[in-house]
């Protein structure tokens, strides 16, 4: 008995069932059960394909956003992709599982997203930064966290920590 697995108005596979036991036939109840299983399989496959498309869309949107950000500063062109490749290489050597590697990839791509709120004049300054400019640069991790905090999927990726400086002052840092 063959039962098609149907997705969105198209056949995406088939289930083939042979005799139960030598000499035993397949009955209408078997056909109904097989049809139900094929319908559920079709839904599961379509959902998996849709999820995969959404993941690709999200990753593409993140990469486009990063390219737009890096286009505003000639000093950082390609920086994010290099950081991502290094981070993933280290993650693989560490033996991280696929799910953690995916989170590492997204985190690496977004690590400088807060620079979108940093004035271009500071990002592109040719020469040494003044103290106040350097302070402005150091705010970008917190700004990145603030940008991403509303997105449920990024809550686990955003890390906030408290740092005590050499002068004893407590400073909260955030990174995305």
Contact 176, 158 (CB under 8 A): yes
Give the three-state DSSP class for 4.
strand
Q: Is 115 part of the annotated catalytic residue set?
A: yes
Calculate the CA dihedral of residues 107, 108, 109, 111 and round it to 10 degrees: 80
Count other Cβ atoms within 10 Å, centred on residue 16.
8
Catalytic residue among 8, 32, 115, 125: 115
Q: How far apart are CA 78 and CA 74, in angstroms?
A: 9
Q: Which residues contact 136 (CB under 8 A, 6 or more apart)?
A: 118, 119, 122
Give the three-state DSSP class for 12.
strand
Active site residue ranges: 115
């Amino acid at each position: 008995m063959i039962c098609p697995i149907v997705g969105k108005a198209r056949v995406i596979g088939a289930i083939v069932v042979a005799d139960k036991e030598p000499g035993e036939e397949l009955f209408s109840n078997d056909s109904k059960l097989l049809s139900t299983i094929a319908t559920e399989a079709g839904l599961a496959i379509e959902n998996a394909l849709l999820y995969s498309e959404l993941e690709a869309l999200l990753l593409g949107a993140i990469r486009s956003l990063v390219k737009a950000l890096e286009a505003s500063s000639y000093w950082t062109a390609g920086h994010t992709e290099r950081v991502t490749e290094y981070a993933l290489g280290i993650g693989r050597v560490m033996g991280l599982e696929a799910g953690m590697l995916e989170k590492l990839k997204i985190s690496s791509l977004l690590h400088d997203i807060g620079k979108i709120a940093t004035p271009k004049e500071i990002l592109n300054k040719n020469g040494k930064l003044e103290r106040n400019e350097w302070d402005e640069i150091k705010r970008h991790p917190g700004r990145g966290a603030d940008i991403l905090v509303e997105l449920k999927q990024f809550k686990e990726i955003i890390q906030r920590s408290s740092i005590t400086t050499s002068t004893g002052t407590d400073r909260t840092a955030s990174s995305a």
